[in-house]
Amino acid sequence: MTLTFAIVGSGWRSDFFLRIAAALPERFRISGLVTRSAATAAEIENRWGVRGYSDLDALLVDGTPDFVVVSVPRDVAPGIIVDLADRGIPVLTETPPAAGIDDLVDLWEHLARPGMPTVQVAEQYHLSPLLSAQLAVARSGRLGTPSQALVAQCHDYHGVSVMRRALGIGADETEITASVFRSPLVAGPGRDGDPTEERIVTATQTTARFAFGDRLGVYDFAGEQYFSWIRGNRLLIRGERGEIENGEVRHLRRFDEPVFDSLRRVMTGEGGNLEGMFLRGILLGDEWVFRNPFLPARLNDDEIAIARMLDGMPGAIDGHAPVYSLAEASQDHYLALLMQQAADSGNTVRSTRQPWADVVDEELHAREASG
C-alpha cells in the first residue's frame, strides 16, 4: 500500500521528506506542499513533481491525505497542528511540537480530548541505524539493567530522548545540574557544503547530569558537532553486566567469562560489490541488531530513520505502537528546557510530573512488554 501524505512548510527539513518519497515511490506519495512563497512552490514542483499550495484549504480541496507532515518553526507549529487536528487529520510534526512549557501543556490539553486524531512527532534519532542497534544491545540483557548513559549525539530534546531510551526511563522525576563551556574550534562544513577558508568559531558545549535515583544520564553536546569533521559522536551505556561504548560491546557471559565484540555495518557497493549503494544492516557478531527495511533504496542513515517514522504512521493512527508520541516529545522537550534553566542559573533544577506523564509511562511499559 502506498501512503499518501502532505507537507506544511518548505524549509531544510522538508527536503528530507521529499527525497525519501522520490527514492521510495512505491511506498510514499506526497499529495502537495503548503508554502507561502509562490517562487518556492514553483521550484518544488519543477524539482520534485510535487504541487505547491498557498494554504491548507487549497490543499485539501484536492483530497485528504493519510496524514500531514508539519515542518515549520516551533512558535507557529501548535496553531497548524491544532487546525489539522480539529479537521480530523492525523499529524506527524517536526520537533519540538511547541516552544515553551506552557505551550506544551496547552497543546497537550487540546489534543488529549476524546475523539482527536493521532498526532506523532518526527523524532528520528532512536530510529537511525547505529543508534537503533546500540539501543537494541542495551535492551537485549547483555549489559544487565542499564544504570548509566552518556549521550554526546544531538542537541537538546534529541539528546534527552536518546538518554531516556538508553536508560529505560519514562516520566520519572529527576534532578538536573548543567554547565556551559566555550572553546575555539576550526569550522567544518555546513548545510551549504564544505568550508572555503579556515575560520575559527566558538563551540558552546552544554554538559548536564540527570539523576534519576538509581540511574544517571549525562548529556554532553555542542551544536558545532553536527557537521564538524573533528568532533565525533559518542554513546556509552553501562549496566552491571557490561557496557556498550560507541561500536564496542563488553559484557559477561558468566562472572568469569568476559565477551568482547563490535558492531559492524554491512554496506553494499564497496570494492567489487555490484549490488548497489545501500546499507544492508548492522551486525553484532553473527546477530543482526539492525536490518534496513528500505533496501535497495539509496538513503543515508538520517533518511532511513525518517522513512521509518513515515512507515510507522498507519499503525500509530490505528492505535498500535506509536512512532514517537506527543507525550514523549513533550517530556523530552520539557526536560531539555529544564536543562537550559539549570545551565543558565547554575542551580539544581528538579522536574515534576506533567499532564502527559502517565501516557509516557504507559508507552514505556508497552515497549518493554513487546521486547
List the domains of the chain with CATH numbers.
3-122 (3.40.50.720), 129-297 (3.30.360)
Helix/strand/coil percent split, the chain, to 5: 35, 30, 35
Among 108, 216, 85, 113, CA closest to 163? 216
Verify cis geometry, omega within 30 degrees of 0, for the bond prior to 146: no
- Mean pLDDT (the chain) is 95
Residue 26: what residue type?
E
pTM: 0.95
| Per-residue model confidence as pLDDT tens digits over 239-257 | 999 999 999 999 999 999 9
CB 178 within 8 A of CB 208: yes
Q: Is the pLDDT of residue 230 over 80?
A: yes
Q: Answer yes or no: is pLDDT of 142 > 90.
A: yes
Confidence of residue 369 (pLDDT cuts 50, 70, 90): confident
Please provide residue 326's backbone torsions phi and psi, each rounded to the nearest 5 degrees: -60, -35
Q: What is the 3-state secondary structure (H, E, C) of 273-313?
A: CCCCCCEEEEEECCEEEEECCCCCCCCCHHHHHHHHHHHHH
Burial 274-311 (b: 16+ CB within 10 A, else e): eeeebbbbbbbeeeebbebebbebebebebbbbbbbbb
Angle between helices 326-345 and 101-111 (to 10 degrees): 170
Report percent pLDDT > 90 for the chain. Answer: 92
Q: Which of 245, 236, 243, 247 has its CA nearest to residue 258?
A: 243
Which pLDDT value is given to residue 191? 87
Q: What are phi and psi of 244, to 5 degrees?
A: -115, 125
Grid coordinates belonging to 137: 544491545
**pLDDT tier, 118 (very low <50, low <70, confident <90, very high otherwise):** very high
Query: How many degrees, rounded to 5, is the angle at CA 196 between CA 17 and CA 192?
Result: 10
Taken as a whole, the chain contains a residue count of 371
3-state secondary structure of 218: strand
Angstrom distance (rounded) from CA 28 to CA 31:
10
How large is the average pLDDT for residues 47-59?
Answer: 94
Helices 77-86 and 101-111: crossing angle in degrees, nearest 10, is: 0
Statement: residue 362 has pLDDT above 90: yes
Residues 157-212 pLDDT 10s: 999 999 999 999 999 999 999 999 999 999 999 888 899 999 999 999 999 999 99
Mention every residue, 6+ apart, whose C-beta is less than 8 A from residue 105.
Answer: 354, 355
Q: In sequence order, what are the residues at sequence separation of 6 or more whose Cβ sits closer than 8 angstroms to the Cβ of residue 33?
A: 6, 7, 8, 9, 10, 14, 18, 41, 44, 50, 51, 52, 53
Q: How far is CA 21 from CA 34, 137, 194, in A?
A: 16, 30, 27
CB 183 within 8 A of CB 201: no
On the question of pLDDT at 11 being above 80, the answer is yes
Pairing of β 91-93 and β 67-70: parallel
The Cα-based distances of 266 to 127, 193, 233, 245, 279 in angstroms read 17, 27, 20, 19, 6
Q: Read off the pLDDT of residues 274-287 as tens digits, 9 standing for 90 and up.
A: 899 999 999 999 99
Residue 113 — φ and ψ, nearest 5°?
Answer: -70, 150
